[in-house]
Amino acid sequence: MTEEIRILMCAPTHYDVDYVINPWMEGNIHKSSRDRAAEQWEGLYKILKEHAIVDLVEPQKGWPDMVFTANAGVVLGNVAVVSRFYHKERQGEEPYFKQWFEEQGFQVYELPKDLPFEGAGDALLDRDGRWLWAGYGFRSELDSHAYLAKWLDIEVVSLQLVDDRFYHLDTCFCPLTGGYLLYYPPAFDFYSNRIIEMRVPMEKRIAIGEADAVKFACNAVNIGNKVIMNKVSNDLKQRLAKVGFEAIETTLSEFIKAGGAAKCLTLRTTEPVQVEVHANTPVESRVIRLEGHLLDSGLINRALDAIVEGGGSFQVLSFELGEQRQSTSKAEVKVSAPGYGIMEEILSRLINLGAVDLPADQRDAKLEPVLMAGVAPDDFYVTTIYPTEVRVDGQWVRVQNQRMDGAIAITRTPDGPVARCKLLRDLALGEDVVVDVQGLRTVRKPEARDAKQEFSFMSGSVSSERRVELVVEQVAWELRQIRDRGGKVVVTAGPVAIHTGGGEHLASLIRDGYVQALLGGNAIAVHDMEQAMMGTSLGVDMKRGVAVRGGHRHHLKVINTIRRCGNIAAAVEKGVITKGIFYECVKNNVPFSLAGSIRDDGPLPDTQMDLIKAQTEYARLLEGAEMILMLSSMLHSIGVGNMTPAGVKMVCVDINPAVVTKLSDRGSVESIGVVTDVGLFLSMLVKHLELLTEPYKLPTQV
């Protein structure tokens, strides 16, 4: 027996599964045998008494989970921090555990009542006493870690749990003597796994599989080289033995029905203080403000989900509900994260939702100079599609040329600071670049609480289950509205539009004034003109649907012919091209841009093989667009999407649902995906436009 080690337990006198507060309890209410539970608890008790002094706290009727003393609190030296249970079913245990700690002479600390923390279930000391591993995500809040660091005077390392079966840290994580660690990696998020890997050398990490994890292999008691645990696999026992540990098994199946095993049933109350170790917690906290129709639009839920999914935690400090149906609501939320990098990522996502990082009216954006042309400072803010404002010299400045995946460059002029969204390659010496997320806000239209919308693009979804014809009808209606008010529609299309028979319908849209710019690649132009000149596309007869002899050479003959003419416009003027998409573009003065790629044949003289110049031309033609039709060209459509600011309606059409989802999911609510054959879509679109009987009048030339 090692007298220096003391362990607290509680007899299972009143133990039963009386309720469900974790996945293990589901289906097990009142199915635990009290006799078997007593027998199994006694077995663990006897084993522990051989290696430590075991103290007992008196069980209390009505609190069946008091047997799990690991959740009484956490102890270091003569300091005990008692638990604040998340679920009301266990909150009645708190005064009994507090009384026991006080009677033993501990200096007792209590967290605020609204701040959950569940003791050594979520707070495990490194066995060398270097730091305290602290879990959060299901039962304990991240904000509790700052209190632990202060009161225990030790560095706290925060780990986020992501699998609700392992709702406490001690169910999937067991620090062992000598710096070893027994743990189940899938129970943690990516960031937490990286922290574990940085703190614990690979040769000392004992990662287990799911089969052992669900037997609560990590919910073990470590005393010296002994690891006392529930029944586990022979392979795990051999791995432990290989690094000097002896696994002592004891069956605890009755307690697993409630979600606990050996470690849950114990609390180590003699944890020596390392005098050279002191408090240090990287937990960052910021307060953000949200305003809008927070409930009806789901904005508040999306914001809180973004915090949790990003690895943080939150506390709603205030919520002011709009008094009238049209009134907006306001909320202030405290955001906590286990480090600066995580906090910055969370705040970036929240800013995209329209949140303001407080006190925004008192903090300018952080700026750093461009030291090398075409290279941004480290930690530069990456722009999104949403209209953005940046606070410079005490004033909010709207960012010009808004687009995705750029940097914000600041230049100072006699009229004040100017902010522009620029690609990295365009950054110039003498400019400053916004870094961090301080002093930034997005300007978003209030998301309406009224379900009735003028146009259903606001659904921001993919129409794989709804009737495609209904969506086409809506698109046709919007196209007609844009055309009649002199607006701008841009089409980006791939060669599939030709292969599926959609070429003639797209040509009709251009001829009738529904398209103001066309973006694509070398292939759509080649195959459109192949169809116009030879009646084939990729060598397939478009009327009969069969390959023609020598058809595989048709596209090369077309390229050669256009190159002889000089360009597409010249071929039209010479009568070489007499119909088709690009014929209509030339005849109706609709500008087009073709971006080349490494796989292009030819290419056509009009194809821009300098991709930087092609991107610039694309961006120029997209200026002022109200709607973009993306027709079966994922490569070009993704590029277009990245160049397009929020507020532009987007229709993504492809037969592949994965492509449609990727193109539609840009964070914009003003997009819709249509999973269908693009030729069929264009045919239906033209028919619906023909049903709109109001005559279209060409503007009078002045």
**Catalytic, out of 145, 168, 499, 554:** 168
Rounded distance between C-alpha atoms, residue 336 and residue 314, angstroms:
6
Please answer whether residues 79 and 227 qualify as being in contact, where contact means their C-beta atoms are separated by less than 8 angstroms: no
264: annotated active-site residue: yes
Omega cis (within 30) before 603: yes
CB neighbours (10 Å) of residue 505?
Answer: 21
- Residue 13: which residues within 8 A CB-CB, separation 6 or more? 59
Rounded distance between C-alpha atoms, residue 500 and residue 523, angstroms:
14
Rounded distance between C-alpha atoms, residue 342 and residue 159, angstroms:
12
Amino acid identity of residue 32, one-letter, is: S
**In the β-sheet with 221-223, what is the strand arrangement from edge to edge?**
221-223, 226-229, 246-249
Please answer whether residues 516 and 569 qualify as being in contact, where contact means their C-beta atoms are separated by less than 8 angstroms: no
C-alpha closest to that of 472 among 232, 204, 172, 672: 672
Strand pairing report for 181-183 and 205-207: parallel
**Catalytic, out of 174, 264, 585, 652:** 264
- How far lies 565's CA from each of 532, 569, 571, 574, 593, in Å? 16, 9, 6, 8, 18
527: annotated active-site residue: no
Specify which residues 314 forms β-bridges with: 335
CB neighbours (10 Å) of residue 429?
Answer: 10
Amino acid identity of residue 386, one-letter, is: Y
- Residue 173: which residues within 8 A CB-CB, separation 6 or more? 124, 133, 135, 159, 181, 182, 183, 184, 187, 218
| CB-count exposure of residue 476 (10 Å: 0-12, 13-18, 19+) | buried
Active site residues: 168, 264
